[in-house]
Amino acid sequence: MTGDIHVRFSTEITSILVILLVQNQFSKAIVLNTSSVRDEIVETLFANYQSHVRPTQNETLVTVYMSISAITSVDVRNMEYKTEMLLRQAWQDPRLAWDRIPKFAHYSRNIVSPVFKNKIWLPDLFFRNGKQGRLHTMTRENLLIRIQPNGEILYSQKITMRLACQMELRTFPMDTQECGMDIGSYGYTLNQLRFVWRNESPVWLNPNIQISEFDPPENVVTHDCSSLYSTSTGQYTCLNATFTLSRQITYWLASTYLPNILIMIVSWLNFWVSLEATPARVNLSLLTLLGVITQSTSFSSILPRVSYIKAIDVWSIACISFNSGVLLEFAIASHLSRRRKVSAWQVEVRKMVRQELARWCTACQQQYNQLGPSASSAYQFAGCQASDKTAQYMSSATTAALAMQNAPISGSPTQMSVRLTRSGQLSLVSNRRSSASDGKRFPFDPYDTAPVDPGPLSPEATQTEALLPVTERPMPKSKSSPVDPIDLYSRVLFPSCFIIYNCFYWLYYLVLVK
């Protein structure tokens, strides 16, 4: 009993092994037969095939569709963009159909081989707005040629193209650009070759696409532009695909607009600095102006030189104008403040000179009463008889000049005194004694006229100088206003104008233009 079981089991094992061996041999025979059939089909199809002849005698239709996997860069300066895509072309070539040959009608598999690229007729497709392109070769040439039994051919390539895009930059950097690609035939006219878009999804965009500075396009608009391309040699086929790129303003806000606004705010600190601090105000104004100009130069270097003004140019010009206005405001305020101070100082000097002359008149009268009529000739001027001399001292144009003509100066502010000598000279003297200041004079003020010397008194008057006391009166100290009126108004005017300008600027470019 046990022996029968072992015999039966051995027989079954042997049968299974025989079946597997026969099946393996049959599979090899099928593979060899299939390979030989495919090779025979290829040999038969290409026996009399001419790759330079179009598939049909009439118009050849080529269906085009593509998949855009990435838009790697958009170059504004050169007005171009770079994209990676899978470009596919499909057409019918009856010469390569084997389903009509009875010998090969049973073979329904597609024939795929990259070596067909140099054996079959291929459409002469090119990109009209293409600048540069390349076929990916990693790890081998990324192309596919597939022939179906009915003679339909699929030609697929993975390529990177650098395409031109004519950009309108009037609203840069709030602009929206329409870029695309024009596909056409380089040599065949429209009655020989026509490209058509596939009916369903002719251009597929990667939903995860990311573009520097731009929002990814939502869709692609395709149309036939064959009617637009007609030359003296004939009319040519054309396909167009257009997509919209909207620039993201966030980068430009952070790199240009906000820094310029901060520079403008810093420039307004000039209005809180005293007019007397000339170096500080000039340096601050020039530094802020230089900062704005540097910003303008930096972004101008990455933009094309167009014949029209851009939105960012309007902003840059306005910022430079506002900064220049701050510097101009300081020049005007400083000039007017200087004139006001000189005028007020001259009024004070004239007032003190009048007081000094009045004291002289009083002293002369007392001396005249004491000495009698014999001193009248000696004190003709001192007795206030010389009205022309008095008028000369009272002149608004010469009072300060006469007082400053012989005035010594000091390295630090000191209290000055007005001195009217018996010889008829006006001078300023310092109450602080310093040998270092001896012989030095006040510089003549540009707002005063040239010093006028009234000349000495008569010899008779100089003989009696010892009889009249000579006193000195302190000069008035210059009083500077704590806040210049122009600076006070500018603290409100400049920020207000800049805010109003910003309202109009952003309203126009973000709302009205778009």
- Give the DSSP letter string of 433-478: --GGGTT--PPPPTTS----------HHHHTTGGGS---EEEPPPP
| Burial (Cβ within 10 Å: 0-12, 13-18, ≥19) of residue 307 | exposed
3-state SS, residue 463: coil
- E-strand ranges in 11-96 read 60-75, 80-92
Strands 234-235, 230-231: pairing is antiparallel
d(CA 460, CA 379): 8
pLDDT less than 50: residues of the chain: 26-32, 376-383, 386-387, 396-397, 400, 405-415, 432-472
Measured CA distances, 502 to 80, 270, 496 (Å): 32, 21, 10
Q: Residue type at 422? A: R
What is the CATH code for 60-248? 2.70.170.10
Please tell me what DSSP assigns to residue 253: I
Q: Provide the token pair at 181.
A: 């690609």
d(CA 117, CA 125): 14
Q: Which helix (H) or strand (E) holds 51?
A: none
> What is residue 31's predicted lDDT score, i.e. its pLDDT?
41
d(CA 196, CA 64): 6
> What is residue 449's predicted lDDT score, i.e. its pLDDT?
40
> What is residue 315's predicted lDDT score, i.e. its pLDDT?
97
> What is residue 97's predicted lDDT score, i.e. its pLDDT?
93
Q: Residue type at 145? A: I
d(CA 257, CA 295): 9
Phi, psi (degrees; rounded to nearest 5) at 94: -60, -25
> What is residue 24's predicted lDDT score, i.e. its pLDDT?
54
Q: Which positions ≥6 away from 124 have C-beta within 8 Å? A: 185, 186, 187, 188, 193
What's the whole-model pTM score? 0.68
d(CA 337, CA 511): 45
> What is residue 19's predicted lDDT score, i.e. its pLDDT?
61
> What is residue 130's predicted lDDT score, i.e. its pLDDT?
96
